[in-house]
Copies of this chain bind each other. A is one copy, B any other.
Amino acid sequence: MVTETASPLATAPADLPFDAWMRQHQERAQSLIARFVPQAHPLVPSLHEAMHYAAALGGKRVRPLLVWAAGECVQADGEALDRAACAVELVHAYSLVHDDLPCMDDDVLRRGQPTTHVRFGQALALLAGDALQALAYEVLTPEDEGMAAALQARLCALLARASGAEGMAGGQTLDILATGRAIGADDLMQMHSRKTGALLKASVLMGAACGKVEAAQQPVVWAALQAYGDAVGLAFQVVDDILDVTADSATLGKTAGKDAQQNKSTYVSILGLDAAGALARRLRDQAQAALDTLPVAQRASSRRLRELADLIVLRGH
């Protein structure tokens, strides 16, 4: 998929240190949020303000980073890739707003700031979440940006399946049903593969969908990136569980120790801290091993995916 407005960032030199690559792309995520979720908007100012608040307060932007890294792996760049990166972050942002509501996790702190409903009230937070979800599909379906219709439809399909009942919303339901009672490692994995894993994996696949891969190579590339996405998706959650125990609220930017307080089963409560850490590192190795199965052209440009697997497992918040 080639567009008129090729992104200079997507062609960042391959020898750029990871930290610089990451910062560059985090800034790109921020500028896309500013473009698609402007804070000031004449129509319904308070709704747009709440949407912007929810989307702009950046975390690490792991999902957009995965989109861009997967895109780099398959020689994708430009407007379509940027829109995919933005759309997946909008869905993530909406899910956080809804998760934090009193009828869900009832959390008042997110990324070190008051959660959206604390700042804007529950009704606006609910609507901002709903509108962010719709906006994700607007971003994926531009009318005049030279983005192929087949790619628009493919990206919508990947995002919708990852975020609905079989994906994120289903996993969130399993999480709520499991709160306050002990569940086993298998159920926990089922829950997390949907709640967090599905959207992380979709990020990889959406980036991959924007690429230029020879038809004959497609199945191999797709299978490798699916395996990579499965492994990093699960690793992300295992590390989240570890950090909930080992980090403090200031570092996390959200209320630490919440899992134990809510009597939630986690990888740490089931496996113990050491075994959970070992699992996270094993999943990282699996993710990187999956990249080794890529055809030579894609393997040669899989560096950022490899580095992101490290980031996800070694991060401190």
Interface residues of A (CB under 8 A from B): 41, 43-44, 46-48, 51, 94-95, 98, 101, 103-104, 121-124, 126-127, 129-131, 133-138, 140-141, 143, 149-150, 152-154, 156-157, 159-161, 163-167, 169-170, 172-174, 176-177
Contact = CB atoms under 8 A, between A and B. Distances in A.
A215 to B, nearest CB: 16
A34 B235 CA distance: 37
A179 to B, nearest CB: 10
Residue among A131, A134, A150, A161 facing the most chain B CB atoms (10 A cut-off): A134
A173 B51 contact: no
Nearest to A91: B134
Contact of A126 (B41, B126, B135): B126
A138 B124 CA distance: 26
Main secondary structure of the interface of A (DSSP, over half): helix
Contacts of A154: 141, 149
Residue among A41, A101, A124, A157 facing the most chain B CB atoms (10 A cut-off): A157
Contact of A165 (B101, B135, B149, B167): B135
B47 A169 contact: yes
Contacts of A149: 149-150, 152-154
A154 B136 CA distance: 15
Contact of A141 (B94, B127, B157, B176): B157
A137 B156 contact: yes
A137 B137 contact: yes
Contacts of A150: 149-150, 153
Given A149-B149, A156-B140, A165 B126 contact: no
18 contacts: A47-B170, A51-B165, A95-B130, A98-B127, A103-B121, A103-B122, A127-B173, A130-B133, A131-B170, A133-B134, A134-B160, A138-B157, A140-B156, A141-B156, A141-B157, A143-B157, A149-B152, A152-B157
